[in-house]
Amino acid sequence: MLILVLGKGKTGSLVAEVARERGHGVRALDIDENRHASALTAPQLAGVDVVVDFTAPEAAVENMRAVLALGGHIVVGTTGWYAKVNELKALAIQRGGGLLYGTNFSIGVQKLFSLTAELAQLEDYKFSIEETHHTTKVDAPSGTALTLKEIILAVRPGIDVPVTSHRVGDAKGEHVVRAVSDHDALELRHDAHSRRGFALGAVRGAEWLAGKSGAWEFREIFGQL
Ligand SMILES: NC(=O)c1ccc[n+]([C@@H]2O[C@H](COP(=O)([O-])OP(=O)(O)OC[C@H]3O[C@@H](n4cnc5c(N)ncnc54)[C@H](O)[C@@H]3O)[C@@H](O)[C@H]2O)c1
Query: pLDDT, tens digit, for every residue of 71-97?
Result: 999 999 999 999 999 999 999 999 999
SS (HEC) of 125-156:
CEEEEEEEECCCCCCCCCHHHHHHHHHHHHHC
β 2-6/25-29 pair status: parallel
- Read off the pLDDT of residues 14-62 as tens digits, 9 standing for 90 and up: 999 999 999 999 999 999 999 999 999 999 999 999 999 999 999 999 9
d(CA 87, CA 103): 18
Q: Report, as residue numbers or ranges, the catalytic residues.
A: 133, 137
Ligand 1, atom nearest to 80 Cα:
41
Quick check: 138 pLDDT over 90? no
Cβ of 175 less than 6 Å from ligand 1: no
For a pocket test of ligand 1, which of 55, 101, 131, 135 has the largest count of ligand atoms closer than 8 A to its C-beta? 55
Ligand 1, atom nearest to 60 Cα:
31
Cβ of 81 less than 6 Å from ligand 1: no
Please give the model's pTM, rounded to 2 decimal places.
Answer: 0.91
Q: What is the pLDDT of residue 223?
A: 87
Alpha-carbon 80 to chain mean position = 10
DSSP labels for 29-82?
Answer: E-GGG-GGGTT-SHHHHTT--EEEE-S-HHHHHHHHHHHHHTT-EEEE---S-G
Mean of pLDDT over the chain: 96
Ligand 1, atom nearest to 198 Cα:
3
